[in-house]
Structure 1
Amino acid sequence: MNSRERHFLRILRKLGSAEQEQVLAFADFLKSRQPPEPAVAHQEPKMLPAKDGETVVGAIKRLRESYAMLDAKAMLNDTSSLMSRHVMGGDPAEAVIVELEKMFERHYQRYRSAPEDA
């Protein structure tokens, strides 16, 4: 959330419910006057091959580049959990990389199932 959005929320929270409804109605009105946004087609991943002796960090970088259309922030919890299993839990890199690949594929399938104009 950027500073403008935080500022808007601070103001909105200080208003009563009737005034908040008026702000939302006005925002909807302004949005309705905007030209429609063109639908964006879902991107396909550009799968990069794994390198010999790839590390978990290297795999994460490769997968982020392969699945550039995915929001890395939305996957941060899953990614850090798998990384922790490797670093703290001692899971072998190969097993964690396989799990990372599955996790990226799951997120990609969710991305594909989302409406294109969302």
Structure 2
Amino acid sequence: MAKVKIATTKDISANKVLKTSANGQSVIVAKVGDKHCAIANKCPHLGLPLAKGKFENGVITCPFHGSKFEICTGKNVEWVDSVVGIPLPDFAKKIVSMGKSSTDVASFTVTQEGEDLFIDA
């Protein structure tokens, strides 16, 4: 793995994620508290991008099926909850998840040198 610059601290806006790339892989980065965090921009449910999802309190919600992930750890905190923002009843959640079980997103440790942010990718 190589250390790759993904952004500068000036690129990161409060309460928003920044879509970037590292060695051809799409990544999203955000600031949570005083820490910068990054995860893969790919929901493990169907491989769709997370970058346009709702981001609050350190958690990003997949805009397609409502799965939620902690941006600092990649940990899945809710699995397939909606379809394009419309909440699903419990029986429909199982159908939409298509037999796939809860899965975390790949996460990256962000290091800072001056104003530059890096990950190993």
Q: With structure 2 as the length reference, what TM-score do the two structures score?
A: 0.21
Q: With structure 1 as the length reference, what TM-score do the two structures score?
A: 0.21
Greater helix proportion: 1
Greater strand proportion: 2
